Amino acid sequence: MLIFDSSKKQKVEFVSIVPNVVRIYVCGPTVYDNAHLGHARSAIAFDLLQRILEANGYEVIFVKNFTDIDDKIVKKSKEADKSVDEITATYTQSYLNDMESLGIRRPTLEPKATQNLEAIFKMIKTLLKNKKAYIAKNGDIYMKVKEDSKYGTLSNRINLESQISRIGENEFKEDIRDFALWKIFNKADDVAYDSEFGRGRPGWHIECSSMIEEHLAYKDKDYSIDIHAGGADLLFPHHENEASQSRCANNKELAKYWIHNGFVNVNGEKMSKSLGNSYFIKDALKIYDGEILRYYLLSMHYRAPINFSHNDIIQNKKRLDRLYRLKKRLNVEYNENILDTAFRDEFLGALNDDMNISIALSILDSMISNYNDLLDKNPKDLATKQKAISNIIFINQLLGIGEKDPIEYFHLGVDSDTKAYIEKKIKERKIARENKDYALSDRIRDELKAKNISLMDTKDGVVWEYSE
Percent of the chain with pLDDT over 90: 90
- Phi, psi at residue 35, to the nearest 5°? -75, 145
Can you tell me the distance from the alpha carbon of 427 to that of 433, in angstroms, rounded to the nearest whole number? 10
Beta bridge partners of 6: none
Can you tell me the distance from the alpha carbon of 61 to that of 218, in angstroms, rounded to the nearest whole number? 12
Can you tell me the distance from the alpha carbon of 206 to that of 355, in angstroms, rounded to the nearest whole number? 30
Model confidence at 458, pLDDT cuts 50, 70, 90, reads confident
Instruction: Please tell me the predicted confidence (pLDDT) of residue 305.
Output: 95
With a cut of 80, say whether residue 452 has pLDDT above it.
yes
From the options 1.10.4030, 1.20.120, 3.20.20, 3.10.20, give the CATH code of 324-407.
1.20.120
With a cut of 60, say whether residue 161 has pLDDT above it.
no
Indicate left, alpha or beta for 267 from its phi (over 0: left) and psi (-120 to 50: alpha).
left
Over residues 346-360, mean pLDDT: 98
Beta bridge partners of 62: 24
Question: How many Cα atoms sit within 13 Å of 42 on the Cβ side?
Answer: 23
Q: Are the beta carbons of 130 and 249 closer than 8 angstroms?
A: yes
With a cut of 50, say whether residue 327 has pLDDT above it.
yes
Q: What is the DSSP letter of 106?
A: P
pLDDT tens digits, 398-415: 999 999 999 999 999 999
Over residues 348-358, mean pLDDT: 98
Over residues 433-447, mean pLDDT: 96
With a cut of 90, say whether residue 174 has pLDDT above it.
yes
Model confidence at 157, pLDDT cuts 50, 70, 90, reads confident
Can you tell me the distance from the alpha carbon of 286 to that of 415, in angstroms, rounded to the nearest whole number? 12
What's the whole-model pTM score? 0.93
pLDDT tens digits, 66-87: 999 999 999 999 999 999 999 9
Can you tell me the distance from the alpha carbon of 54 to that of 46, in angstroms, rounded to the nearest whole number? 12
Instruction: Please tell me the predicted confidence (pLDDT) of residue 150.
Output: 96
Instruction: Please tell me the predicted confidence (pLDDT) of residue 302.
Output: 98
Over residues 343-350, mean pLDDT: 98
Over residues 14-28, mean pLDDT: 98
Q: How many CB atoms lie within 10 A of CB 312?
A: 14
Chain centroid to CA 92: 15
From the options 3.40.1160.10, 3.40.630.30, 3.40.309.10, 3.40.50.620, give the CATH code of 2-270.
3.40.50.620
With a cut of 60, say whether residue 139 has pLDDT above it.
yes
With a cut of 50, say whether residue 162 has pLDDT above it.
no
Q: How many CB atoms lie within 10 A of CB 363?
A: 18
With a cut of 60, say whether residue 132 has pLDDT above it.
yes
Residue ranges covered by each domain of the chain:
2-270, 324-407, 416-466
Residue 154 carries which side chain, given as an amino acid letter? Answer: L
Can you tell me the distance from the alpha carbon of 179 to that of 416, in angstroms, rounded to the nearest whole number? 54
Percent of the chain with pLDDT over 70: 95
With a cut of 90, say whether residue 367 has pLDDT above it.
yes
Cα first-last separation, the chain = 38
With a cut of 60, say whether residue 165 has pLDDT above it.
no
Model confidence at 460, pLDDT cuts 50, 70, 90, reads confident
Model confidence at 167, pLDDT cuts 50, 70, 90, reads very low
DSSP calls for 414-428 = --HHHHHHHHHHHHH
Instruction: Please tell me the predicted confidence (pLDDT) of residue 441.
Output: 96
Can you tell me the distance from the alpha carbon of 204 to that of 144, in angstroms, rounded to the nearest whole number? 16
Indicate left, alpha or beta for 316 from its phi (over 0: left) and psi (-120 to 50: alpha).
alpha
Q: How confident is the prediction for the chain on average, in pLDDT?
A: 94
3-state secondary structure of 337: coil
Over residues 318-344, mean pLDDT: 95
